[in-house]
Chains A and B, each alone.
Chain A
Amino acid sequence: MAETAYWEAIRRAHDEEMANDPMVIAMGEDIGVAGGTYKATLGLYDKYGPERVIDTPISENSYTGIGIGASMVGMRPIIEIMSINFALLALDTLINAAAKIRYMSGGRVQCPIVMRTPGGTAHQLAAQHSARLARMFMSTSGLRVVTPRGPLDAYGMLKSAVRCNDPVIIIEHEQMYNLKEDIPEEEFFRPLEGAEIVREGTDITLIGYNYSVHLCLEAARRLEADGIDAEVIDLRALKPLDRETIRKSVEKTHRVLVAEEDEAPVGVGSEIIATVNEECFYALDAQPVRIHAADVPVPYNARLEKAAIPSADDVYEGALKVMGRI
């Protein structure tokens, strides 16, 4: 095992997959000579050259489209979008093309691209650098959407995404790139489907993905001090969604809370609560609670920003509410 930061895990996955298959290339702004905004491709330009670690102009829609076109003829591009906000510029090629080409060609053409992008708030980056948008990708047919919460999945899911034949969106998080975890030194893969129970418990199910899993874990530690045994689920994959793991957990705990950094209307939480209603409505002993961002563009002012984004306190208090303690 080796202690590895989130960004180092991503870099290692790039390196191994590029060494393994000459058809794997990386594309994005500042990823080559500059080494990448998040160091995800640090040193790879020198190792693999400008033809495989491609510095693109600031033209998100078209360089994503070029990656998609290349993937249609056997390439395996890993496309970095510097911030998920900029991914909005690439939605035409991503959603109108990559997500639909397999279907509208009757399964005859595939687009095995990987798009990596951080989606989440950092510190006072203001509205145009703080979008989350997981809910938008989650609602698009023809995509896979995964949300690694730590280095283990960041490494193992990127490797699987490169080899998978579908377009995969990997939503990372600005505040997690320096998160460290021990991961095996030998090569491994983590599957692109399946939620994970990251803490077993019997009293309430706390469901998160990406950064909000850490809020759930922090809340669970505090609930333990109150004598409440929380189970924490990391969804890992938002699309396709692992309904079975959610159902089994809620049938055990009878109580559920969903924490997301996205805004609430038509958010990930809405889908999870609907899933609970469809799968195991009669198992519920209490009203479910959603913890989510305020329905506002993310403000610059630190105090306002803090108020807009959910915290571990919010998850903790939400859980007490589900438990009938407040």
Chain B
Amino acid sequence: MNDADKKRLLREMIFYRRFEDRTFEAYMERKIGGFLHLYSGQEAVATGVLEKARLGRGTDNDYVITGYRDHIHAIKTGAPPREVMAELFGKETGSSRGRGGSMHIFDPSVNFMGGYALVGQPFPLAAGLALGCKHRGTDQIAICFLGDGANNQGTFHETMNMAKVWNLPVLFVCENNQYAIGTRIERTTAVVDQYKRVCAYDMEASQHDGMDIDIVMEAAEKAIDFVRSGKGPYFIEFMTYRFRGHSMSDSKGYRTKEEEAEWEKRDPIKIYSRRLIEAGIVTPEDIKAMEREIDDEIENDIVKFAEESPEPRVEDLDKYVLDDNPDPRWIGPLQQ
């Protein structure tokens, strides 16, 4: 990876942090409603894994799917940040036309196949995307990002089994932030190392530091190559930490200040900034300038677009329930 790409990756991670911070402010201003789950702290995982996926080629992209903490996965996959912000603002110009909101960002134009609020539901959907890739004979793969909490759903076991039996091209990325909402993993989960759980299905798996993007990229590249080469599914676990609460209504009372401080020392942006400064690729002044530029883009382009976009029309309330232009040959109505 050349220096320009390293600088770009640092900029991307700073952008993701600032983007999420800005959504927090908009939520406090009541411009964003519902639930809002922020990705701050976990940036190295989505950024690093998806850096090694095949993106930016439109319909030939790999497929990406995730849970409700989905803004950054969508953007890194290629969804325009303006449209993601407009979705959070409930606007017609949003990724999901204002019908989905924070937890349901969709952008099939770049093969981002959605964020889902039912914990563990994306496991089988991802395997289905992979079944589609395999059936069509392409070398695309499906990448499923979920948290450690999702692995206690039945869909985890059912899907790992079928993905292995059918040798599906799917990469399961476990972002282990150690808390299922507000419950620490040891209190609910018999096997704490999540990658060990898929050995029951004889699936390839590994565990890595999720706070260091270089480690993430190296591990992801191997896993993606494995899956793309037709060797079957792979389960990759990254140890990470979310810096904010589960959602906006979370007071984080279940974690100690000491633990949070320890993990904040391992902030993925700080780790990578330091490394690039030490290597002489960026200066602290460059980073400051980068931050100013990002804040300006978020405020004067992205948020402005979201603010100024129209809301969906009430007359369109029942649009998109079923196919709005169905073929009468299949739908009817019946001729008596």
**Contact residues of A with B, CB < 8 Å?**
23, 25, 51, 54, 56-57, 59, 61-75, 92-93, 96-97, 101-110, 141-142, 144, 160-161, 163-166, 189-197, 236, 240, 242, 245
Contact = CB atoms under 8 A, between A and B. Distances in A.
B162 A106 contact: no
In the A-B complex, the 8 residue pairs with the smallest Cβ-Cβ separation, listed nearest first, are A69-B128, A191-B332, A65-B124, A106-B97, A194-B334, A62-B158, A73-B132, A105-B106
B331 A193 contact: yes
Nearest to A55: B165
Contacts of B63: 73
9 contacts: A70-B129, A70-B131, A104-B100, A105-B99, A107-B324, A142-B322, A166-B323, A193-B332, A240-B322
Interface residues of B, number: 57
B99 A59 contact: no
B107 A69 contact: no
B124 A64 contact: yes
Contacts of B104: 104-105
A87 to B, nearest CB: 15
Given A59-B158, A62-B162, A64-B124, A102 B322 contact: yes
A236 B334 contact: yes
A60 B321 CA distance: 24
Contact of A105 (B108, B135, B155): B108
A72 B142 CA distance: 12
Interface string B292-336: 000000000000000000000000000111111011111111101
Interface string B137-157: 000001000000000001100
A161 B332 CA distance: 12
Contacts of A192: 330-332
Nearest to A160: B330
A164 B159 contact: no
Contacts of B38: none
Contacts of B94: 106
A208 to B, nearest CB: 16
Contact of B106 (A56, A108, A161, A240): A108
B96 interface: yes
A233 to B, nearest CB: 11
Interface of B: 63, 65, 94-100, 104, 106-109, 113-114, 116, 118, 121, 123-133, 135-136, 142, 154-155, 158-159, 161-162, 165-166, 319-324, 326-334, 336
A191 B334 contact: yes
Contacts of A75: 128, 131-132, 135
Tell me the dominant secondary structure on chain B's binding face: mixed
B334 A144 contact: no
B118 A96 contact: yes
A240 B334 CA distance: 13
Given A141-B321, A142-B322, A163 B106 contact: no
Nearest to B92: A106
B334 A189 contact: no
Contact of B125 (A54, A97, A106): A97
A54 B129 CA distance: 16
A164 B330 contact: yes
Nearest to A99: B321
B302 to A, nearest CB: 19
A70 B132 contact: yes
A67 B310 CA distance: 36
Contact of A103 (B65, B118, B162, B321): B321
B131 A164 contact: no
B332 A163 contact: no
Contacts of A103: 99, 320-321
Contacts of B162: 56-57, 59, 62-63, 66
Contacts of A106: 94-100, 106, 320
A65 B128 contact: yes
A93 B124 contact: yes
B155 A107 contact: no
A177 B284 CA distance: 74
B132 A62 contact: no
Contact of B159 (A62, A102, A104, A160): A62
Given A106-B320, A166-B322, A194-B332, A72 B125 contact: yes
Contact of A109 (B114, B326, B330): B114
Contacts of A67: 128
Contact of B334 (A54, A110, A195): A195
Given A108-B97, A161-B330, 6 more contacts: A73-B128, A75-B128, A101-B114, A109-B106, A190-B334, A195-B334
A68 B322 contact: no
A93 B121 contact: yes
A74 B109 CA distance: 14
A51 to B, nearest CB: 7
Nearest to B324: A107
Contacts of A160: 329-331
Given A93-B121, A109-B113, A164-B330, A66 B319 contact: no
A59 B161 contact: yes
A260 B94 CA distance: 44
